[in-house]
A and B are shown apart, each in its own frame.
Chain A
Amino acid sequence: MIDQFVQVINDFARYIIPLLLVGIPFYGLVVKKIKVYELFVEGAKDGFTIAIRIIPYLVAILVAIGMFRASGALDLVLAGLSPLLSLIGFPTENLPLALMRPLSGSGSLGLLTDLVNTHGPDSLYAKIGATMFGSTETTFYVLAVYFGSVGILRSRHAIVAGLIADTVGILSAVYICRFLLS
């Protein structure tokens, strides 16, 4: 039952983008009779300026994250945290992914792939990992890009709130999978 439901939702998802790309100009042209081509070009121009504007912020944040990973500092944090986490029933196998997830999308996808390949997609570790991956975001990247695009330098409570949400998402992933799938 759930299999079919997921299948239907994911099939539906494949049609969303093409339908929007056709439906929106069609609605504008046929129903509202507005100049869709001129409007498209006018809007599309903003894409260039926004993409260029985020470069300095993106360089700063990605370089900092890359250095942190390459230096082995992330591994040290891992080693420091693992005894604490085993106390609350958090599997150490899932810890690298949990720490990487807010920092890097490609890095955390790599760790998830590794988890699935090592333990198999039927393992609880892989299921917890996939749930973590789907329920959290690359918080630092999103903050850098979104705030960078408008030149915000003081982000106030956004980072703390984002990390609290990530922590709750990650812990929920562990306990929900333990409860429902094991």
Chain B
Amino acid sequence: MFISVVVGALTGRIDAVTEAAIDMAKTAVEIAIGLIGIMALWLGTMKIAEKSGLITIIAKGLRPITVRLFPDVPEDHPAIGSIVLNMAANILGLGNAATPLGLKAMEELQQINPNKDTATNAMCTFLAINTSSVQLILPATVVGLMGTYASEIFITTIIATSMSTIAAIIAVKGLEKLKRFQIETENRQ
């Protein structure tokens, strides 16, 4: 922010900087409020899926993968179910469904976090995979923009997104071992 103000002053765009700050503060609240309805719809539906045992079935099927990615999370913890569903929603390009499921997963991961203000390895792994955006179905906006050329993009996107997901997993697993990213343990017993 400091850089932005200095650069803004030098380039004579300080008014634009002020305007952007105020606009974005407003946008942030609009995004959050807009999420309420979608979140309620998906979390309500997922509650039914959870109590009817559907999530357990899916989570069990993917256990060989999740055990390796999230060794710190107990195998039968509900977080695994939410993580799996969030990834499934991302793969299918269901952005609206992915966010509520992802936030649910974070809440469940937080329950088993000993230091509530510091991210666990499982959280970082989950987010790295999430932001690398494994995606099978192109976003509707891209299809709309590219028209008939969308089919060419289909293959290249799958290859590129697979590369970035592999990179994410390697990076997150390598980085978590580095000393500067270790959790400070002096406050714990």
Contact = CB atoms under 8 A, between A and B. Distances in A.
Contacts of A67: 1, 4-5, 8, 17, 20-21, 24
Contact of A58 (B32, B104, B141): B32
Interface in A67-89: 67-73, 76
Interface in A110-142: 112-113, 116, 121-122, 126-127, 130-139, 142
A157 B45 contact: no
B73 interface: no
Interface residues of A, number: 99
B48 A73 contact: no
Given A48-B40, A150-B107, A162-B131, A122 B149 contact: yes
Contact of B155 (A2, A48, A61, A73): A2
Contacts, number: 354
A151 interface: yes
Interface string A25-39: 101100110101001
Given A50-B107, A158-B124, A176-B159, A152 B118 contact: yes
Contacts of A112: 142, 145
Count chain B CB atoms within 10 A of each CB in A32, A71, A116, A167 and give the residue with the most. A71
Contact of A68 (B3, B116, B165): B3
Main secondary structure of the interface of A (DSSP, over half): helix
Interface string B120-148: 00011001101111011111011101111
Contact of B127 (A39, A55, A70, A162): A162
Main secondary structure of the interface of B (DSSP, over half): helix
Contacts of B135: 134-135
B164 A168 contact: yes
B69 interface: no
B7 A72 contact: yes
A63 B48 contact: no
Nearest to B134: A135
Contact of A142 (B23, B127, B156, B172): B127
Given A24-B49, A165-B168, A51 B156 contact: no
B152 A13 contact: no
Interface of B: 1, 3-5, 7-8, 11, 13, 16-17, 19-21, 23-25, 27-29, 31-33, 35-54, 92-94, 96-97, 99-100, 102-104, 106-107, 109-110, 116-119, 123-124, 127-128, 130-133, 135-139, 141-143, 145-157, 159-161, 163-168, 171-172, 175-176, 178, 181, 183
10 closest A-B pairs by beta carbon, nearest first, are: A43-B47, A169-B164, A47-B39, A47-B40, A66-B24, A44-B44, A71-B8, A165-B168, A70-B20, A168-B167
